[in-house]
Structure 1
């Protein structure tokens, strides 16, 4: 307890399930020199129901999105009505007055300029004003910013990222502001106007619909990697994953490709890729996958590292197998790759969820970390109540915030939100 209180004090003084469910917010993670502690801080608040799908930080405020209705302070004395979105202090965990009215789940968040935050999800109204799937609100007051008028035609927004004056959005939509953009669009951060030159032309012939499950953008904004129910980019074949040059005015698909996700997992998955994150330097990215299948030669229920540079065919640098349990979230900090889902094991290519662990497998219930170089499990093993799984990681200067659907993290009570300090 004393160490956790010291960690909290240091932070205070620092400058700081179904296959069609969405992923978590997209943004390249910041670098950290060491692996975080396995002992969560005590001051984070608790979400009492539903699932936390999205996390972002605006100044010294953590914004949390998902599908929930109740939030409690860290001492579990005061309960707040907060539907699908709330905020708390990064340094002290105090629940903010921020409480915009959002009528359906928030699946993605991105920090905006001037103490604002972008929301993405399946909502149709924000503060009783019609604005489907996309909105920008003040973190100070919770007010909707009317100058940002972007809206999708249907479906949802599952991932957001801001780079400069560009806001990227990915999901299940097929148009933004009435302009055709299937699954992926680039918008002006101030007005929400669609970038006319950026049209990836994604499609998935034979599948029910095209969708971007998740994406990430390098810190310099020059590369974007997207995963989901994708089979083509224009006339170019790209199975479940595509890499783009986004440094210019267009969405230029690169010659980079992989056949690693050609194999089918359990029938019924139009895509089994769930989240992707670049390394802090943009040199590589890591993909987290579900699939309800296990085999040493498949990437179902795995994490895999791919190098960003170079054209043509790429094979994974390494693959981390769970043995048949889903991974939904990944964070890449340079010192570690954090993986979250409802996995029981890591290092488990020869085990299955039905028959148990194979040779060399290690127990890592619901959360774990692997070496960025080898992909092998690190000693870090805080454990969590597995549930459906971790849906969001947020790397901050002094730790790692976790969002999920359960209330036990690091062998302590933490309602759907918790933080491991550096």
Structure 2
């Protein structure tokens, strides 16, 4: 949904937990922001200690794979570069390098006055914030999804047809690029046709892609495909098809992987021929649709949003996953403009699965979610959480959480963490990494500071 100015309400009454045994222990939010890499108050000795720790390169990070022991600080680090126009749609971490994709044209390092051209894709060092000078692939249209690759490479998906340096090469809507020089990796040819790639998940030698395409890896694969991560060829054993969209065309908006299950969200009412309204799970080992199902997202939201599931993420242990939606203000009991938790393996082996909890914004879209064990972070252009009775307004008990917030994974209620951000269109990208939470959006104020379209909240 487009940015709104209406006010939602506090978290709606939380439904009784369906599987309390698997719910994680609540971790309280920090009482005050904990500075990271911070100014003159840090002594020389402690500063050297911090630098020594940060000098250790982190592993590559994928959504749903990083557990945090606590809620992140509300004070963003000062080193992230600034994206000076457009919007950030996706973030990946490859070793110690952050890769950022979206629709933009210029970036600059923190503390620098010099802007550099980086069309739709760039990379920077996680610790120093230095922009990689050799990585400038310049995709000809926006990047919508990223996934870390082996050997200093990254997978980029989107609306583009060409990418790569020094000269643009035709890659289709999915490319594997070298971080050293931005060139496409020889031998990888995903052959995406018929539409964009909007979601990517890497799992060892497999790469899952979702979007609005019709063909992938040389085979008919409408909206969902499993590709060979080295060659881009489609797996002939994985032919699960989303179908029967409510809108004009079947689309996959979000993918997440955890506990041997691939969560698929998008504009469809069937998955592999089975009824699955906007959300289903796939057993990736057996390459078949899981028995898990919910009718929660079969409800209608606003007419402009025939489908409205937009973000998915598994908890690090795979026991549950979180879903965020757009959809428009429709009142309590509807799944529109909400965050929800679902158990991956509910107590009952079959039958409809209900959410363990639901948190309502009261009429504002959520697009991104990250589950770290300590919190379920949600981002969009929301004004409130805990707002089940809001209808573009603040209902009783609404918790103001402009643009970004954190939910207790156990209770489903907003944690006290409230850094704030300019709302704009909203947060489109989260990535939990070993040092904190990376955030990508379309606005310039994060945690009461200037952080244009990219920022990171560190672990305290």
TM range (shorter): over 0.9
Where 2:37 maps in the other structure, the secondary structure is helix
**Cα offset, 1:352, TM superposition:** 2.0
| CA deviation string 1:62-89 (max 9, x = no partner) | 0000000000110141211000000000
CA distance in 1, matches of 2:65, 2:420: 22
Distance 1:205 1:296, change over 3 A: closer
RMSD (Å), alpha carbons: 1.7
Match of 2:283 in 1: 245
Contact 2:246 2:269 in 1 (8 A): no
Counterpart among 81, 92, 95 of residue 117 in structure 2: 81
What residue in structure 2 maps to residue 297 of structure 1?
A: 333
Please give the alpha-carbon distance, in whole angstroms, between the structure 1 residues aligned to 2:63 and 2:34.
33
Q: Deviations over 1:257-296 (max 9, x none)?
A: 1111111110021210101111101111000000012311
- Indicate which of 396, 420, 434 corresponds to 1:397: 434
> For structure 2, which runs of at least 5 residues remain unmatched after alignment?
1-32, 40-46
Q: Is the 8 A contact 1:29 1:331 kept in 2?
A: no
Give 1:235's aligned residue. Answer: 273
Which of 157, 169, 180 matches 1:120?
157
**What is the distance in 2 between the residues matched to 1:367 and 1:2?**
18
Question: What residue number does 2:23 align with?
Answer: none
Partner of 1:334: 373
How far 1:5 moved relative to its partner? 2.7
Query: Does 1:12 pair with 2:31?
Result: no
1:274·1:289 contact (CA, 8 Å) conserved in 2? yes
Measure the CA separation in 1 of the matches of 2:146 and 2:352.
Answer: 33
Match of 1:351 among 390, 406, 416: 390
Equivalent in the alignment of 1:155: 195
Structure 1 residue 13: deviation in Å?
3.5
| Number of the residue aligned with 1:191 | 231
Mark the CA change 1:198 to 1:350 in structure 2 (over 3 Å): closer, same or farther. same
Map of 2:10 onto structure 1: none
In the alignment, does 2:370 pair up with 1:370? no
Contact kept, 8 Å, 2:218 with 2:234, in 1: the verdict is: no
* Alpha-carbon distance in structure 2 between the residues aligned to 1:172 and 1:307: 28
Could you say if the C-alpha distance between residues 208 and 87 of structure 1 is closer, same or farther in structure 2, counting changes exceeding 3 Å?
same
Q: Are residue 34 (structure 1) and residue 70 (structure 2) matched? A: yes
Which whole-Å CA distance do the structure 2 matches of 1:206 and 1:59 have between them? 40
CA-CA distance at 1:311 after TM superposition: 3.1
- Alpha-carbon offset, residue 12 of structure 1: 2.8
Identify which of 129, 144, 152 aligns with 1:107: 144
Instruction: Pick the aligned partner of 1:52 from 88, 98, 104.
Output: 88
Report the count of equivalent residues.
Answer: 408
Decide whether the 8 Å contact of 1:181 with 1:199 is kept in 2.
yes
1:389–1:404: 8 Å Cα contact kept in structure 2? yes
How many Å apart are 1:334 and its aligned residue? 0.2
- Structure whose CA Rg is larger: 2
Post-superposition Cα deviations, 1:6-53, rounded to whole Å, max 9, x if no partner, equal 49945634442xxxxxxxx97324100100000001010000000000
| C-alpha contact 2:79 2:110 (8 A) present in aligned 1 | yes
- The equivalent of 1:225 in structure 2 is 263
Distance 2:350 2:445 in 1: 44
The structure with higher relative contact order (CA 8 Å, sep 6+) is: 2
Distance in 2 between residues matched to 1:5 and 1:224, nearest whole Å: 37
What residue in structure 2 maps to residue 268 of structure 1? 304
Partners in 1 of 2:280 and 2:185 — Cα distance?
33
Q: Distance in 1 between matches of 2:365 and 2:162?
A: 32
| 2:63–2:431 CA contact under 8 A, matched in 1 | no
Aligned residue number for residue 254 of structure 1? 290
Q: Is the 8 A contact 2:191 2:217 kept in 1?
A: yes
Deviations 1:306-337 (A, max 9, x none): 00004321000000000000000000000000
The change in CA–CA distance for 1:334 and 1:206 in structure 2 (over 3 A counts) is: closer
Contact between 2:245 and 2:267, CA under 8 Å: does it hold in 1?
no
TM-score where L is the length of structure 2:
0.86
Distance 1:37 1:151 in 2: 42
Partner of 1:164: 204
Residue 286 (1) aligns with residue 326 (2)? no
Alpha carbons of 1:114 and 1:361: their partners in 2 closer, same or farther (altered >3 Å)? same
C-alpha change, 1:207 and 1:319, in structure 2 (3 Å) is same
TM-score by length of 1: 0.94
Secondary structure class of the residue paired with 2:303: coil
**Structure 1, unaligned stretches of length 5 or more?**
17-24
- Alignment deviations for residues 187-227 of structure 1 (CA, whole Å, 9 cap, x no partner): 00111111000011221256311110101111x5x110101
Please name the residue that 1:20 is paired with: none
* Structure 1 position 141 matched with structure 2 position 181: yes
1:243 Cα deviation from its structure 2 partner: 0.8
